[in-house]
Amino acid sequence: MKIVILTGAGISAESGVPTFRGPDGLWEGHRVEDVATPEAFRRDPVLVQRFYNMRRRFLLSGAVHPNPAHLELARLALQPGIEVTLVTQNIDDLHERAGSAGVLHMHGELLKARCEGCGETSGIREDLEPATICPECGEAGRLRPDVVWFGEMPYFLEEIGRAVEAADWFVSIGTSGLVYPAAGYVSVARDAGVRTLEINLDESATSGIFDDSLRGPAGEQVPRWVAGIIAAR
């Protein structure tokens, strides 16, 4: 059985990582256009670096841990006869910490930097400053967080599209259904005859397209769903 799972900020909410759109429509107090676009980075690289430095410090602070939803998805992938493709919009590393391998980070990773000079990526755990030197090419001032900003092309699109079309199940967990192309995968799945399930605390923008839904916190609903799949086999 092939299962493609798409996770969003909601799966990390119970780990203490704030979701994207708070009730005030802001991401950690910032307008998205001010911190998550290439224009913002060109205009004010210091502000943008500081924003991601804060996210990275928090992620590495010891206060953040994978929750049962991350852990159970890793367990699901180990079941014989089940092939999981785990796609995430999240830039945190909580799936990896839970034991998942081969996660497709379509919006990049907070713990990686990319050099706009040589194009190489490198692992990063420290703050990025405008003067930070690229470990690959030695140039200063060309490193940026390896995250996909609004207006940029997400990673792994072909691979994800192929996996969705070939799946038996498409499961979306804790995503708002507002950020494309990720929000379009449920339609790709439906058109290919793939069974679709949404797990979310609330209705999302695409809830109406899914065949099935489980409402509630991911930390409760994901373990219940995984237990059901394993018991049914």
| Amino acid occupying residue 10 | G
| CB-nearer residue toward ligand NAD: 10 or 223 | 10
Q: Which stretch binds ligand NAD (CB under 6 A): 74-82, 122-130, 159-167, 173-181?
A: 173-181
Count of residues touching Zn ion (by CB under 5 A): 6
The reply on whether position 154 binds ligand NAD by CB under 6 A is no
Strands 108-115 and 143-147: antiparallel
Write down the catalytic residue from 70, 95, 105, 107.
107
The reply on whether position 14 binds ligand NAD by CB under 6 A is yes
| Amino acid occupying residue 172 | S
Sign of CA dihedral 206, 155, 29, 64: positive
| CB-nearer residue toward ligand NAD: 8 or 223 | 8
Which residue among 4, 76, 91, 134 contacts Zn ion (CB under 5 A)?
134
The CA distance from 49 to 179, in Å, is 22
| CB-nearer residue toward Zn ion: 116 or 159 | 116
The reply on whether position 137 binds Zn ion by CB under 5 A is yes
Contact assessment for residue 106 and residue 182, using Cβ atoms and an 8 Å cutoff: yes
The CA distance from 117 to 137, in Å, is 8
Active site residues: 107
